[in-house]
Chain A
Amino acid sequence: MTGSQATQSIHPRLLTDEPIDLGLFTKQSDLRAGAQVIFAGRVRNHHGGREVNHLEYSAHQKLAPIMISQILREESDKLRLYEAMAVHRIGRVGLGEIAVVVVTSAAHRAEAYEANQRIIHRIKHEVPIWKKEYFADGSWEWGTCDHSAGPGSL
């Protein structure tokens, strides 16, 4: 990473098979940051009119962390973030549990919000992680990404 204004720390565990504790992300270590945005994506109980039982995430466990780190670096440089972190769950994730967290800190809220939206969008579309949806009726299917919702539509 480059640029004197962008001092970034990345959570060492970018993929985890353990429940994610949001409390770990609320500490703000860089006093230059006046805005911190914390996004938590949780497993909802419905999809396409069907009742969801749980999700199961798999990943390319070498490439996915590399790509998440790269995305965090690029967006940090672009929007002059002071902090950018992201963690994604793998394995079985139950209803209401957190599947992914993105944290961005910047001097002002506009940059922190924009960067957070860009990072979660890129993680969903670029990082080799896949979800399998298990439904209440016992069936399952591989999840699909909504490619109509690009950053420009946010």
Chain B
Amino acid sequence: MEIRIQFFASLRDTFGEWLDLSVKEGASAADVLTALADLNPQAASLLGVSCCATDDRVLGKGEQVPATICVFPPMSGG
């Protein structure tokens, strides 16, 4: 299935703001992060500590992703 990914912060420098990605049916958040690491191995370590979210909550690693998600690196506010 095709999903749309919006990136934030340092991951946006690597992938741009939006990316359309083909993943297996029922792909989990962890599957998406792995697919992104395969796409760009240099970002693998950062993706390993990144997370997927929707506009209203962070997804667990095992959760199935919806058609549009965002992916972001560890937070650094404050």
User: Across the interface, which residues of A come within 8 angstroms of B8, CB to CB?
Assistant: 58, 60, 128, 130
Interface residues on B, range: 10 to 19
Q: Verify A130–B9 contact, CB threshold 8 A.
A: yes
Q: Is A110 an interface residue (CB 8 A)?
A: no
Q: Verify A127–B72 contact, CB threshold 8 A.
A: no
Q: Is A107 an interface residue (CB 8 A)?
A: no
How many residues does chain A have at the interface if contact means C-beta atoms less than 8 Å apart? 27
A130's contact among B58, B70, B73, by CB below 8 Å, is which?
B73
Q: Tell me the smallest distance from the CB of A19 to a CB of chain B, in Å.
A: 17
Q: Verify A145–B74 contact, CB threshold 8 A.
A: yes
Tell me, in angstroms, the Cα distance from A88 to B56 when the chains sit together: 18
Q: Is A126 an interface residue (CB 8 A)?
A: yes
Q: Verify B77–A123 contact, CB threshold 8 A.
A: yes
B78's contact among A58, A67, A124, A147, by CB below 8 Å, is which?
A124
User: Across the interface, which residues of B come within 8 angstroms of A148, CB to CB?
Assistant: none
Tell me, in angstroms, the Cα distance from A126 to B57 when the chains sit together: 11
Report, nearest first, the 10 A-B pairs whose CB atoms are least far apart.
Answer: A129-B77, A124-B78, A130-B9, A143-B76, A142-B10, A62-B55, A145-B76, A130-B76, A131-B76, A100-B78
Binding site for B on A (CB under 8 A): 41, 57-60, 62-63, 66-67, 88, 99-100, 120, 123-131, 142-145, 147
Binding site for A on B (CB under 8 A): 8-10, 53-58, 70, 72-78
